[in-house]
Structure 1
Amino acid sequence: MPQHPYQDIPATSHWRKAFDGMAPNQIELVGDFKFKLSRHDKVATAGSCFAQHIARHLGRDGFNFFVTEPGHAIGSPDIKKAHHYGIFSARYGNVYTARQLLQLFDRAYGSFSPTEDCWLNASGRPIDPYRPSIEPGGFSSKEELLRDRVQHLRAVRTMFEHLDVFIFTLGLTEHWRSAIDGSVFPVCPGVAGGEFSPDKHVFHNSSVNEVIAELREFQDKLGQVNPGAKIIFTVSPVPLMATMEPRHVLVSTVASKSILRVAADQLEREFSHIAYFPSYEIVTSPFSKGSYFGPDLRSVTEAGVEHVMRTFLAHATEGGTGGHAPPAAPGSGREQATFDAQAHAIVNVMCDEDLL
């Protein structure tokens, strides 16, 4: 029999063998992860809405979720959550794009100060254009907003300088920019607050080359303030809420996620301290048959989140329990009903994009 390289590839590298006899919730798309998180590592998170699940599960499994902006000690957990404390490592809200992440770093270290520094919401109260949802109802005054921003950016600096691992979930390529200074917003001006002006605000959809360049610049700047930092990129599986491109929102979703996935792959190939984790593939791949999305075809179910985090903890951490065990196949009618309810339960996350 002729010899060829494909005869010796592992089963996971062959489509039929990779899925043969496997239940969907037992399939793991990760083998030898590039590096592993220990329980002593300070793990910081940022990114799109889906990134909130990573922080929640890391803390639940006893890992060191690194929070540098925890809120006042006397505040209740519910109040802190409503004000976006502890959802990410600092109170920056959703960071959807590579450009927005790079901008956050530059603002924290004083190398960039956006011209547009305050919006008013529908009630006339000030809100922060770069984290419009973090203060329910808005700030009491612009002075309070500016004071809060100073301590917030201080917390961001502390995070970058002292984290061991930074997990960033890439969410979007489409975004709105200031035509004046190029600053980027997490949501279109006029949606959560502020006033949209075609003379002041421009739509931009980043190319793969732009995303790669922005991620390279970010990792370089992070390395300057924290030489030992490691980075894990993921891509959010959550589809776009809306697109400004003249095409179907699903087509824009596939284009956007493909660009982000290629960029993450390129960075992982280039740098030994950067790894990629396939949360996007776990949720969206054919083996799940769409069961990891809710009735709106967009919200990720608890079963999907559990599969992602079970795989992450099992392969990307030292001593992780792997999360909850996969649910057993249902038997009786009552067990079937319970199984279906758990599989379709939607995990609530705070998401600026939902304002659209």
Structure 2
Amino acid sequence: MDQFRTLVEIPESDFKISYHSKIIMLGSCFVENIGSILLKNKFNASVNPFGVIYNPFSVANSLKLLIENKTFTEENLNFANDQYFSYYHHGSFSSNNMEKCLKNINSSIQSASLDLAGADILCITFGTSWVYELIDSGFVVSNCHKQLASSFHRYRLNVDEIVKLYKDLILSLSLFNPHLKIIFTVSPIRHWKDGANGNQLSKSALLLAVEQLVQLFDHVSYFPSYEIVMDELRDYRFYDEDMIHLNSTSVNYIWSRFSNTFIDEETLSQMKNIKKIISAAGHRPFNPDSESHQKFLANTYRKMEDLENQIPNLSFDLERSLIQKNLLE
């Protein structure tokens, strides 16, 4: 036997990500994992402008706000436990100061609205089809913000509800940005508080809904991160200590499958050169004033400028400042 695991076959993508691409990502904490790698490698990416969001309804609400370029006011905030917060947002946007809370929310929406309008690729990751609906208003929240469970009605979205919601949303997105390609994923991170069966039912609804959306729209595709973990990484050594979240080994493996699917060869080569520059800028030599190290820094500096001239929007500002501290006149 040549192999001891099943490999998930991923169809070749009809579009590719490059350093010229503009990417926006929304959804569960899995978005944070892949998004952080994109940002670390200096891709032009906007990651979770509302914070981590888990369910399809709340992701859709977020995208509608970006299309609208919504400005939040005091009336859009709630106050409890000495914190101002928004039910559209993660707790990272909350503050005990109302002006600060509004400033953080509005600056993020304004920036992300522009990003969405100019984006080439939108990545959406669903985490769960379970939602929390405010009993008083019927609004499905993105985050419960530790409010009383009695304030919410909890239920699971069905496949038809998700498909209907996203059929309309995808059409709106196409009008807002006709060039946008959409990649759906389903987070492989289990929502164990739903129970083993509840988690599986939840993920199944998400997978079936996404399958229909991919069939309906030519510019919509699916990346099987869920299947990669369930079938290729079927072992607890790929999980953190809580046995729920993924460790760095599994995240890096999923990234390798993602990059091989969506990133072209030229960009992969450029990414290697960018990694070398980032590593060189952070290098701490025994003798920083030596002639050899000064030549090394000057050469790295030139490589930065060459790459920045080749790739629009690429910036080595942080790395340049590190080198300038050690580069002798």
Is the structural similarity TM-score above 0.5?
yes
**Larger radius of gyration between Structure 1 and Structure 2:** 2
Match of 2:13 among 10, 17, 33: 33
Matched, 1:156 2:112: yes
Gaps of 5+ in 2: 273-329
Q: Name the structure 2 match of 1:71.
A: none
CA contact (8 A) 1:39 1:318 kept: no
Aligned pair count?
269
CA contact (8 A) 1:65 1:89 kept: no
Q: Name the structure 2 match of 1:345.
A: none
Matched, 1:227 2:206: no
Q: CA RMSD in A?
A: 2.9
Match of 2:45 among 45, 52, 66: 66
Q: CA deviation at 1:221?
A: 1.2
Match of 1:166 among 97, 122, 128: 122
Gaps of 5+ in 1: 1-19, 68-87, 244-248, 325-356
Aligned AA (2:198): S
CA contact (8 A) 1:66 1:89 kept: no
Q: Name the structure 2 match of 1:12.
A: none
Aligned AA (2:63): F
TM-score normalised by the chain length of structure 2: 0.73
Q: Distance in 2 between matches of 1:127 and 1:253?
A: 28
Q: Distance in 2 between matches of 1:143 and 1:102?
A: 26
Identity score, percent? 21
Matched, 1:272 2:218: yes
Q: Name the structure 2 match of 1:76.
A: none
TM-score normalised by the chain length of structure 1: 0.68
- Residues 125-168 of structure 1: per-residue CA shift (max 9 Å, x gap): 32233224214xx4243243234333332223212211110111
Q: CA deviation at 1:116?
A: 7.7
SS at match of 1:144: helix
SS at match of 1:315: helix
CA contact (8 A) 1:168 1:233 kept: yes
CA contact (8 A) 2:8 2:227 kept: no
SS at match of 2:189: coil
SS at match of 1:21: coil
- Residues 200-223 of structure 1: per-residue CA shift (max 9 Å, x gap): x32221001111112222211111
Question: Structure 1's 130 and 287: CA in aligned 2 closer, same or farther, altered over 3 A?
Answer: closer
Q: Distance in 1 between matches of 2:137 and 2:168?
A: 19
Q: Name the structure 1 match of 2:244.
A: 298
The within-5 A match list for 1:211-222 is 211-222=162-173
Q: CA deviation at 1:279?
A: 0.7
Match of 2:258 among 297, 300, 312: 312
Matched, 1:54 2:34: yes
Question: Structure 1's 60 and 143: CA in aligned 2 closer, same or farther, altered over 3 A?
Answer: closer
Q: Distance in 1 between matches of 2:167 and 2:115?
A: 19
Aligned AA (1:117): N
Q: Distance in 1 between matches of 2:73 and 2:3?
A: 51
Structure having the higher helix fraction is 2
The within-5 A match list for 1:15-30 is 21-22=2-3, 24=5, 27=7, 29-30=9-10
Match of 1:262 among 208, 224, 228: 208
Q: Distance in 2 between matches of 1:310 and 1:48?
A: 19
Aligned AA (1:175): V
